[in-house]
Amino acid sequence: MIVAVVISVIVMMLFANPVGDFVNRHPSIQILGLLFLILIGFMLIAESAYLSHLIVFGNEAGTIPKGYLYFAITFSLMVEFFELMMNKNKTLV
């Protein structure tokens, strides 16, 4: 377990600058990353406060399945990827 943590820290340190440079070159990726942090933070706060058991107008609020969050994140990343590819092709032509 310790070896896995050390290896992951080394990999993160190696890729920190290239990923940071990429994010700084593309402001829309910065906004997308901030939105993901807000989304995940809101879900963590809602789960820790047991808001899924909250009764609103006689109905239990329930939890949002994790699959919905993963789909939203994947879909928005895919749209952003396609937009970056289209902009790249526009500059080449």
Does some domain include residue 13? no
Does some domain include residue 34? yes
Q: What is the pLDDT of residues 76-92, one digit of tens each?
A: 999 998 998 888 877 76
- Residue 1: the pLDDT is 92
Does some domain include residue 82? yes
Is the C-alpha dihedral spanning 28, 30, 31, 35 positive or negative?
Answer: positive
Q: Total structural domains in the chain?
A: 1
Q: What is the pLDDT of residues 25-56, one digit of tens each?
A: 988 899 998 999 998 888 888 888 877 777 87
On the question of pLDDT at 75 being above 70, the answer is: yes
User: What pTM was computed for the model?
Assistant: 0.67
Question: What residue spans of the chain are helical by DSSP H?
Answer: 2-25, 27-48, 66-92
Does some domain include residue 22? no
Mean pLDDT to the nearest integer, 61-67: 80
